[in-house]
Each structure stands twice: as C-alpha cells, then as structure tokens.
Amino acid sequence: MTDGLSVADDLITRISASRIEVKADPHLEALGLAVSANLPVLLWGEPGIGKSAGMRQLAAGLDLPLETVIASVHEPSDFAGLPIIGDDPATQGVPMAPPDWAVRLAATGRGILFFDELSSAPPAVQAALLRVVLERQVGSLTLPEGVRIVAAANPPSSAADGWHLSPPLANRFVHLYWTHDPRTVARGMSGIWPAAPVARVQEHRVPGAVAKARGAVSGFLTARPGLVHQLPGDAEARGGAWPSPRTWEMALRLLAVSYAADSSAEALSAALVGAVGDGPGIELISYLENLDLPDPDRVLAHPESFALPKRGDRQLAFLTAIVAAVSADLTRERWEAGWVVLAKAVDAGVPDVAARAAMDLAVLREESWPVPSGIDAFLDVLSLSGAL
C-alpha cells in the first residue's frame, strides 16, 4: 500500500522540476558579467522575488557548489573567526578558526558563497564581513580565487529589522537590482525559466580588451577628476553604489571582461552603474558610446597606417591604451611602434596630450634598445621627469 505522503512527495518533485532556456535578459547577463569578473555582487530586491532561487540556478548552471549563509543570524565571530588556543600561544599566536562553510569552499577550491539577508545584519556583523568580501579572509583562512561572492538584500523598508548598509561594506559590491517580469514568472510556472548566462572571455581578445579598458577609464577620469571619489550625503545612498578609487577599479575590470567577452551594451551599462553609481555610471556609458577606440594591438602592428582621433579625450584614452598594450606584451618592435604612434600626436599639434604617455612608454625601455627618433619632441618633458 502506497503511503499518502510519499505520493504527495512525488507530486512535489514533479512540480519542482523545470528546465532553463537561453533568453536575453540584461539583469541576468549583468550578474554573469560581474561573476566572470570575480567581483562581489549584491542583488537588491523585494522579498520573495527569486534572488535565492536565482543563485541556485546560477550555481547549477556553472556546476559549482553553493554555500548559503544567512548573514542576519550570525555573530561577528562567525566571519572574523573564533580564537582557538594552540600548543604554544606565546610563540605561535592564537589562530582564528573559520566556520565549516569556509573550510568546505577552501577544500573544493571553487564555488559560490551566497550571503543572504545582508540588509538585516546588524552593523557589527557588517563590519566583520568587510575582510570576507574584499580580502576573502575568513578567520585565519583565505578563500581561493575560484570562489565567487554574491549577496542579496531587501531594501531596509521591507527587510526584517532592516539596516542601511555601512558605506565601507556597500562600496565593496557591484549593486544590481533584481526585478521580475510577469511574463517570465508565468512561463516559469509552466516549468521553463531563463538561464543566468556567464560572460565567456575569449583568450585571444584579452590583451586588447585590457588595454582598451585602461585607456577608456583613465581617459574618462582625466576628463572628469571630480568623479574619482564622491561619498553621498544621505545614509540610504551611502548604502548603495557610489564612486571611489575602489569602485573605479571594479568598473575597469567589468569593462575589460565585457570587451573580451563581447557582452551586450545593456548588461555592461547595468554593471557599470552598479559599480560607481547612477550619475557617474551614466556619464561613463555616454563617454564609452562616443569613444570607439581602435584595437591597440592592430595599431601597433601597423603604426604608420592609422589616423589619430580628432577629439582630445579620445586621443588621451587611445594613447593610454597604446602604452598599456605595449606594457602587456613588451618587445622592442612594439615599443618602437608605440613611439611612431606618439609621434603622430606631435605631428597633429598636440604633444601635450601625449606627454604622459611618452613618460610611461620611456620607462619601459630596456638598456640595450636604442633611443627612437620619435622621442625628440618629448626630450624636455622626459628629462624633467627623470625618465631619461
């Protein structure tokens, strides 16, 4: 005779089964972009909207173990580590023992660490999480680079005993807003949910992508120095995305991964805004849309056949990208090609734009390499800088 609960369990198993389909979704793609860039991600969304379910699907799609930690029910010592007395504390010190989930992730070497209910964690717990999120340090244990960190939070108005995130903790995350599409939910009830795609970095694109990203972000911040650091004035905004040197470095990594993986413009926009905030993020996106930098590696291969961009900000970004590309794969031929490129800036009547790039390029010279003719226009500035 069949047990009634066993039949019910079979029904639940059947109704829980689902399959996934690839569907263009900028929010899911932005999450995948940040995960590929190995940046901590914070998903904001109302309760019951599917943040935890999305993490389970992401982990299953990547074949990664998922460790879920409810931040709000833990003590600071659960993240800072519990002191354990060793054989000789006077000479060996007192190690801070990590929790079991950190040990499992370290043993596996890869996985997703998911901090749920982050906005319900009190300030002392948030402070203990700082090293975990940024330095991957849990007690005396360092989490491997193969472990991705994702968190989820409800807005303080709808969180259980909600708190605003402290500025130091908030500034360590890429903030993404988890929303629902009624049509997606309706299709999911039929057993089909969208997949969370992860940006697939193409190896042959990596050097050029890094150089272009460096040029773009450096050029933008040179033009808009006031955006390098802006701490918001109110508590709610300080608990979200805002620009700082740390988050601009995050934006740089997101941009490089996007270039190397050919992510959609919508996903990149969501990720950049999630890193540096609405205003600076929108300005950066607008700047990138009008930048259109050529591939620096192609230019270095044929330096005589390119035309210098007309706009000053594009010139600066492009020359910065050229130096970054040379530095990433330093040979005498590429170094000399860099000087051919800089000489075009002199011929165009803008040696001041190329001066910083010239100093950076000069530092890369090996002693056995002869001084190229294109360096003549920069002798004064290089002499003053000590690069010659």
In a domain, 180, yes or no: yes
Compute φ and ψ for 213, nearest 5 degrees.
Answer: -65, -45
If asked whether residues 231 and 283 sit together in one domain, one would say: yes
pLDDT at 80: 86
Q: For residue 70, which of 127, 119, 134 has the smallest C-alpha distance?
A: 119
Tell me whether residue 335 is exposed, middle or buried, using C-beta atoms within 10 angstroms of its C-beta: 0 to 12, 13 to 18, 19 or more.
buried
In a domain, 55, yes or no: yes
State the chain's maximal CA–CA distance in angstroms: 95
If asked whether residues 184 and 251 sit together in one domain, one would say: no
Contact by Cβ (8 Å): 2, 175: no
The residue among 241, 274, 289 that closes a domain is 289
Name every residue whose Cβ is closer than 8 Å to that of residue 115 and which is 6 or more positions away in sequence.
69, 71, 129, 149, 150, 151, 152
If asked whether residues 238 and 325 sit together in one domain, one would say: no
If asked whether residues 321 and 380 sit together in one domain, one would say: yes
The residue among 174, 194, 214 that closes a domain is 194
In a domain, 178, yes or no: yes
If asked whether residues 224 and 346 sit together in one domain, one would say: no
If asked whether residues 95 and 178 sit together in one domain, one would say: yes
pLDDT at 257: 96
The residue among 269, 289, 309 that closes a domain is 289
In a domain, 6, yes or no: no
Q: Which alpha helices (DSSP H) does the chain contain, by range?
A: 4-16, 26-36, 51-62, 77-80, 89-92, 100-108, 123-135, 167-170, 182-189, 206-223, 235-238, 245-261, 265-276, 278-289, 296-301, 312-328, 332-347, 351-363, 379-385
If asked whether residues 273 and 316 sit together in one domain, one would say: no
Amino acid at 210: V
pLDDT at 2: 60
pLDDT at 130: 92
Mean pLDDT (10-residue bins), the chain, 388 residues: 77 80 77 94 85 81 90 88 75 81 95 92 91 91 95 74 83 89 77 76 90 92 92 90 97 96 92 96 93 85 84 84 91 92 82 81 89 70 52
If asked whether residues 267 and 332 sit together in one domain, one would say: no
The b-or-e profile of 132-163 (16+ CB within 10 A means b, else e) is: bbbebbbbebebeeebbbbbbbbbbeebeebb
Per-position DSSP letters for 264-304, written without gaps between them: -HHHHHHHHHHHH-HHHHHHHHHHHHTT-PPPHHHHHHSGG
pLDDT at 58: 83
In a domain, 4, yes or no: no
What is the count of structural domains for the chain?
3
If asked whether residues 37 and 135 sit together in one domain, one would say: yes
Name every residue whose Cβ is closer than 8 Å to that of residue 4 and which is 6 or more positions away in sequence.
none
If asked whether residues 145 and 208 sit together in one domain, one would say: no
As a residue count, the chain comes to 388
If asked whether residues 105 and 238 sit together in one domain, one would say: no
This prediction's pTM: 0.83
Q: How far apart are the first and last CA of the chain?
A: 91
Q: For residue 355, which of 347, 366, 364, 346 has the smallest C-alpha distance?
A: 346
In a domain, 130, yes or no: yes
pLDDT at 152: 92
DSSP 226: G
- DSSP H or E segment with residue 21: strand 19-21
In a domain, 114, yes or no: yes
As a whole number of angstroms, the distance between CA 161 and CA 72 comes to 9
As a whole number of angstroms, the distance between CA 180 and CA 91 comes to 56
If asked whether residues 300 and 236 sit together in one domain, one would say: no
In a domain, 356, yes or no: yes
- DSSP H or E segment with residue 116: strand 111-116
pLDDT at 385: 46
Contact by Cβ (8 Å): 155, 44: yes
Do β-strands 82-83 and 96-97 pair in parallel, antiparallel, or remain unpaired? antiparallel
As a whole number of angstroms, the distance between CA 17 and CA 188 comes to 11
pLDDT at 138: 93
What domain range is 231 assigned to? 203-289
* Domain CATH number, residue 77: 3.40.50.300
